[in-house]
């Protein structure tokens, strides 16, 4: 070691450092080879030590041989360089350098940016050329570990850079557009979470404090000012604000507020709550089931267990990925919000030519259907008629549900029919030539009835006969557990006139479009089926309505399907499949009924506690329960195909949009998966990746069998 290096080392590690290290090395060498002597020359020391270790008997020496990058010296140091920016993927050498430090110290203590050093240090140009050459050799952004010894860069290790999010998309796009990656190769390199990460700016980078945590029920990140009612959200939007709507829980009348909001937070609820479903359909970030926040609606303040208070007008950021409400933030423009939902053009091009399970969209309006089609959806997998009666329209359905037979009910049914026909026409027209699954009304009835407590107080205060009458009807229709009560086909059986009106609206919309030269492809779906006789009931009504219109379901092109969302329906798949043209697996309700859990309540306290205790890895409402629900799903597919090989099998529900679930349902033999418009691109990507992986596995098995 030169005198300058000795002086530098003594200043860094102390006068006795070199002697102590030499003594330790000599002792280790003596254990491996008692006859070996430690030379003075450093290179010879390495040679002798390696010979002793490799020639020794097993377990003869308790010494391991590792590689330590050179970095000693007054003009030396360690660095890490990338051939692109790891956060964006943009070309250009970036990295950090620690003078007089090792690679381990660089990782723990950090260093200075390479940007200026590459231009000012004598070794900068050589390092830049080496990093660029490494990328050319790998044909991928390179990660280069290096040291500088006496002003000369020495490359220690070169590996492929590990990129995610926007950086990965940029790297893949560059190579795909230059023809260096095939469609299949490009898609195989990109995971849905990379697209999801690239869509939104990361909240942690903003260093915003967390105000409350809950369940992320609709992905995305958005900032805005807090409001505590739907009316306040509408007013704030009219004033040019970006409101974040905070509610105890949302109900159908709150739809105008949801439409006006940039994000939603509810104290209660879960993955399948009203707010979660609507927010996903609208592409709004949403957090529900707060575990450390309590809303005081009268005082208009959200209080947290840490003592924080979120008040009306406060600027907050909602992270629908992580399920966190942050204090502060930056408001995004409308253009930025729209761009966040778009799939990169090159990736859409690559996906369009690749196989995979079909991806449909959940669409309750013509605008939703058009948005899904623009994002690559192959049809509508679920059109929920009850969602056409949110907001002010909920009163129309409420009057029908509470009406007694007579002129008033006839008038209300006529109004409902008119609204349904117009909305169904818009959806079918937007998806012209593609299949549209339209589900009969399946409202949790309590969401469309007056609040029993509020109505009781009003009636006690007014004693008005009309209020007493409404209270009597509400009490009669009130259910202790409405999610297990009169909903879906059950309501249609009890109110056959309501079922007939829905079918008539669908048939008339279909026939009108056909006369106009369009190609509507409606599929009528019956929810909450538990007995094959229920499907027979609806089939009979469909035949009767079409006959009254001078046609038949076959001539009108209306098929009939059943939702498999009760365990009984899953167990009786063969009987139901014989009567149906299609089956749709509803994973939300099926999961709730298999587990015996409330969809709205379990995710607030029970499931988070189970996850914290290690009893569950994830909520079954977020990730598909392959062990139980998945077993039923496979059974449904197998038994349906056994009696109707040509039957169409679909899946709708939040778990269905997860990448692992997409792969599962594709392998199980389902034909399509349906999800909200913003998730269509991600599910298309997951479907293509699943098909490519399945094809590669088949090829591997074929080659192994030769």
Reported as a single tens digit per residue, the pLDDT across 436-491 is: 999 999 987 777 777 777 777 777 777 777 767 777 777 777 777 777 888 899 99
Annotated catalytic residue 652: yes
Q: What is the pLDDT of residue 382?
A: 96
Q: In this structure, is the dihedral angle defined by the CA atoms of residues 683, 684, 687 and 689, taken in order, positive or negative? A: negative
Residue 192 tokens read as 């849905």
**pLDDT of 312 strictly over 80:** yes
**How far is residue 538's CA from residue 544's CA, in Å, rounded to a whole number?**
10
Q: What is the pLDDT of residue 612?
A: 86
**How far is residue 499's CA from residue 495's CA, in Å, rounded to a whole number?**
7
12-49, pLDDT tens digit by residue?
566 777 777 778 878 877 877 787 788 877 777 777 77
Number of other CB atoms surrounding residue 596 within 10 Å:
7
Mean pLDDT of the chain: 85
Annotated catalytic residue 417: no
**How far is residue 7's CA from residue 130's CA, in Å, rounded to a whole number?**
31
Indicate the pLDDT class of residue 335, thresholds 50, 70 and 90. low
418-427 CB burial, b ≥16 within 10 A, e <16: ebbbebbbbb
Mean pLDDT of 164-170: 87
Which of 72, 652, 672, 675 is catalytic? The answer is 652
Which of 274, 326, 387, 394 is catalytic? The answer is 274
Mean pLDDT of 302-320: 87
Mean pLDDT of 5-15: 63
Indicate the pLDDT class of residue 75, thresholds 50, 70 and 90. low
Indicate the pLDDT class of residue 205, thresholds 50, 70 and 90. low
Residue 622 tokens read as 């977020």
Q: Residue 269: phi, psi to the nearest 5?
A: 100, -175
**How far is residue 661's CA from residue 656's CA, in Å, rounded to a whole number?**
5
Mean pLDDT of 199-209: 62
Mean pLDDT of 650-671: 90
Indicate the pLDDT class of residue 662, thresholds 50, 70 and 90. very high
Mean pLDDT of 163-184: 89
Is pLDDT larger for residue 38 or for residue 497? 497
Q: In this structure, is the dihedral angle defined by the CA atoms of residues 452, 456, 462 and 464, taken in order, positive or negative? A: positive
Indicate the pLDDT class of residue 141, thresholds 50, 70 and 90. very high
Q: What is the pLDDT of residue 3?
A: 62
**pLDDT of 507 strictly over 90:** yes
**pLDDT of 310 strictly over 50:** yes
Dmax over Cα atoms in the chain, in whole Å?
A: 111
Residue 666: closest CA among 637, 696, 697, 631? 637
Q: What is the pLDDT of residue 345?
A: 75
- Which region among 136-145, 273-282, 318-327, 646-655 has the lowest average model confidence (pLDDT)? 273-282
- Rounded alpha-carbon distances, angstroms, from residue 466 to 396, 458, 463: 17, 11, 9
Q: What is the pLDDT of residue 571?
A: 96
Residue 346: closest CA among 681, 689, 690, 687? 681
Residue 83 tokens read as 């051939």
Indicate the pLDDT class of residue 331, thresholds 50, 70 and 90. low
Is pLDDT larger for residue 10 or for residue 593? 593
**What is the SS3 assignment for 231?**
helix
**pLDDT of 703 strictly over 60:** no
Indicate the pLDDT class of residue 700, thresholds 50, 70 and 90. very low
**pLDDT of 5 strictly over 80:** no
Is pLDDT larger for residue 1 or for residue 127? 127
Contacts of 683 (CB under 8 A, 6+ apart): 192, 359, 657, 662, 673, 675
**pLDDT of 329 strictly over 90:** no
568-627, pLDDT tens digit by residue?
999 999 999 999 999 999 999 999 999 999 877 787 778 888 988 999 988 898 889 999
Q: In what order do the strands lie in the sheet with 315-319?
A: 210-213, 324-327, 315-319, 221-227, 243-247, 263-266, 286-288, 215-218
Residue 197 tokens read as 């990460």
Indicate the pLDDT class of residue 60, thresholds 50, 70 and 90. very low
Q: What is the pLDDT of residue 167?
A: 87
Indicate the pLDDT class of residue 291, thresholds 50, 70 and 90. confident
Indicate the pLDDT class of residue 694, thresholds 50, 70 and 90. confident
Q: Where are the alpha helices (DSSP H) in 431-552?
A: 452-462, 465-477, 489-494, 496-515, 532-548
**pLDDT of 69 strictly over 50:** no
Is pLDDT larger for residue 101 or for residue 421? 421
Q: What is the pLDDT of residue 61?
A: 44
Mean pLDDT of 356-366: 93
Q: What is the pLDDT of residue 338?
A: 53
């Amino acid at each position: 070691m030169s005198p300058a290096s000795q002086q530098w080392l003594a200043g860094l590690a102390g006068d006795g450092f070199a002697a102590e290290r030499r003594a330790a090395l000599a002792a280790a060498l003596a254990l491996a080879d008692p006859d070996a002597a430690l030379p003075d020359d450093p290179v010879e020391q390495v040679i002798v030590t390696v010979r002793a270790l490799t020639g020794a008997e097993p377990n003869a020496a308790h010494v391991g041989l590792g590689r330590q990058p050179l970095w000693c010296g007054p003009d030396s140091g360690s660095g890490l360089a990338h051939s692109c920016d790891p956060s964006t993927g943009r070309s250009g050498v970036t990295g950090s350098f620690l003078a007089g430090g090792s690679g381990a110290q660089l990782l723990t203590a950090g260093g200075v940016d390479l940007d200026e050093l590459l231009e000012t240090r004598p070794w900068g140009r050589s390092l830049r050329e080496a990093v660029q050459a490494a990328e050319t050799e790998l044909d991928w952004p390179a990660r280069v570990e290096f040291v500088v010894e006496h002003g000369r860069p020495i490359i220690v290790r070169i590996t492929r850079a590990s990129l995610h999010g926007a950086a990965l998309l940029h790297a893949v796009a560059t190579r795909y557009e230059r023809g260096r990656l095939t469609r299949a190769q490009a898609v195989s390199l990109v995971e849905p979470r990379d697209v999801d990460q690239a869509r939104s700016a990361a909240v942690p980078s903003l260093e915003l404090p967390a105000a409350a945590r809950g369940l992320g029920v609709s992905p995305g990140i958005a900032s805005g000012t807090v409001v505590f009612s739907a009316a306040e959200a509408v007013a704030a939007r009219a004033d040019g604000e970006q409101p974040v709507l905070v509610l105890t829980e949302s109900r159908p009348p709150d739809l105008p507020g949801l439409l006006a909001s940039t994000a939603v937070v509810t104290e209660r609820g879960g993955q399948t709550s009203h707010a979660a479903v609507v927010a996903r359909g609208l592409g709004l970030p949403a957090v529900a089931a707060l575990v450390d926040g309590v809303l005081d609606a009268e005082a208009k303040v959200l209080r947290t267990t840490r003592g924080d208070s979120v008040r009306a007008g406060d600027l907050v950021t909602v992270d629908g990925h992580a399920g966190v409400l942050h204090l502060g933030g930056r408001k995004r423009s409308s253009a930025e919000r729209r761009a966040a939902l778009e799939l990169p053009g090159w990736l859409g091009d690559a996906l369009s030519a690749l196989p995979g399970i079909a991806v449909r969209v959940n669409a309750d309006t013509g605008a939703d259907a058009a948005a899904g089609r623009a994002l690559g959806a192959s049809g509508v997998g679920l059109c929920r008629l009850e969602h056409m009666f949110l907001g002010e329209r909920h009163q129309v359905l409420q009057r029908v549900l509470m009406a007694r037979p007579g002129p008033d009910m006839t008038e209300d049914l006529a109004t409902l029919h008119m609204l349904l026909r117009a909305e169904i026409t818009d959806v079918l027209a937007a998806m012209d030539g593609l299949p549209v699954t339209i589900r009969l009304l399946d409202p949790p009835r309590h969401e469309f009835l007056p609040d029993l407590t509020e109505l009781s107080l009003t009636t006690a205060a007014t004693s008005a006969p009309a209020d007493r009458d409404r209270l009597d009807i509400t009490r009669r229709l009130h259910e202790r557990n409405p999610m297990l009560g009169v909903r879906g086909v059950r309501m249609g059986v009890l109110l056959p006139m309501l079922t007939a009106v829905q079918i008539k609206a669908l048939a008339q919309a279909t026939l009108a479009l056909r006369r106009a030269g369009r190609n509507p492809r409606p599929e009528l779906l019956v929810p909450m089926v538990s007995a094959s006789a229920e499907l027979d009931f609806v089939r009979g009504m469909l035949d009767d309505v079409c006959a009254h219109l001078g046609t038949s379901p076959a001539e009108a092109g209306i098929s009939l399907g059943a939702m498999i969302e009760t365990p009984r329906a899953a167990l009786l798949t063969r009987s139901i499949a014989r009567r149906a043209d299609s089956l749709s697996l509803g994973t939300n309700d099926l999961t709730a009924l298999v587990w015996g859990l409330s969809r709205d309540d379990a995710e607030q306290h029970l499931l988070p506690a189970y996850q914290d205790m290690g009893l569950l890895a994830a909520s079954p409402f977020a990730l598909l329960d392959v062990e139980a629900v998945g077993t039923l799903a496979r059974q449904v597919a197998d038994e349906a195909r056994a009696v109707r090989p040509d039957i169409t099998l679909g899946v709708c529900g939040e778990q269905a949009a997860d990448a692992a679930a997409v792969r599962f349902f594709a392998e199980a033999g389902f034909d399509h998966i349906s999800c909200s418009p913003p998730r269509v691109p991600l599910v298309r990507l997951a479907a293509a990746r699943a098909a490519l992986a399945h094809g590669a596995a088949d090829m591997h098995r074929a080659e192994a069998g030769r």
